[in-house]
Amino acid sequence: MPDRVFIKGIDKDRSERQTMKSRHAIIYSTGRYLPENIIHNEDLDQFPDTAKFLISQKTGVFARRHAGENECTSDLAAKAAISCIDKSMMSADAIDGIIVSTSSPDRMQPATATRVQHLIKACNAFAFDINSVCSGSTYGITVADSLIRSGHCDTVLFIAAEVYSKILNPQDFSTFPYFGDGAGAMLLTADSERRGVLQSVLSTEGSGCDVISVPGGGTMMPYSRLRSPSDACFRMKGKAVFEFAVVRGAEVIQQLLEKAKVSIDEIKCFICHQANVNIITGIAHKVKASVRLFYMNLFRYGNIASASILIALDEALEKGVIQKGDLVMTVAFGGGLSWGANLIEI
């Protein structure tokens, strides 16, 4: 729970004062939303029993959530946002900007964030989307931090929301069992005393842009040129993704530690993208850190793409795994190929 409340308009010259000092983006509150529909491995009747057993063995996923028939990405995003705002005791009209990270948007246009702004009645906020697939959380935190540090905003609501159940081929064993739906939110505010987001690292390797993709539906393959409905579904080259994630995940941790001049022993908790238990344990091994420092909830939710880190962060805070003053590192890797990390003092 925040130790003070900032309501837009009460202190009109706060922004002017803080531009004269060192502005930091602190995490003021967090929230999450998971659909009620729980799909266990044994419920996946389209696959043989022998295959169902492999799901948990290969990735550690035992269940996932699926959005309702009439739930879209902005619905989940708005519910996570409301959870976050309610914890902050801040009114929605005090929010300066809304960023939504999603690789499963409501529509090609407009931005999913615009409907979220409407649903939560954040009438004074600008709103836009970003898409860096599963790395979107680290990219979004970095963008929000930059907006606040620059003095452009005092409050930014960052939401990551995904509904992969509606862009997957239910018969594709290489993708369908491993992904789930959900949304996480983070309210960042300007502060001159607490440190908040300390450093970030973002990277892209565009030569791998076809490793993770939804081929159809854009200008490269319009819907009128789809060869089959499955062309509009998510695809992934699993082995290549696994190798990339372990190598780049460990690499970006070391890079960020060096950039921030921080020892790995000072990190209270790593919040990694919740893709695969074997990827996370592989990263822990490479950086010579105990896997117990890596918070995991993928057993219950599967891979929720860019939303996984914000959901895991909110859970870890709620459970007391991390507390105010702790150093936490978020680490993500995904389509593009892209990867990134943020070092945050909670």
Q: Which amino acid is at 181?
A: D
Q: Which helix (H) or strand (E) holds 162?
A: strand 155-163
Distance between CA atoms of residues 315 and 296, nearest Å: 10
Q: Rounded to the nearest 10 degrees, how much is the dihedral formed by the CA atoms of 337, 135, 99, 217? A: 50
Q: Rounded to the nearest 10 degrees, how much is the dihedral formed by the CA atoms of 219, 222, 225, 228? A: 120
Distance between CA atoms of residues 180 and 168, nearest Å: 10
Task: Answer for the pair 90, 6: CB distance below 8 angstroms, yes or no.
Answer: yes
What length is written for the chain?
346
Catalytic positions, written as ranges: 134, 273, 303
Distance between CA atoms of residues 73 and 116, nearest Å: 9
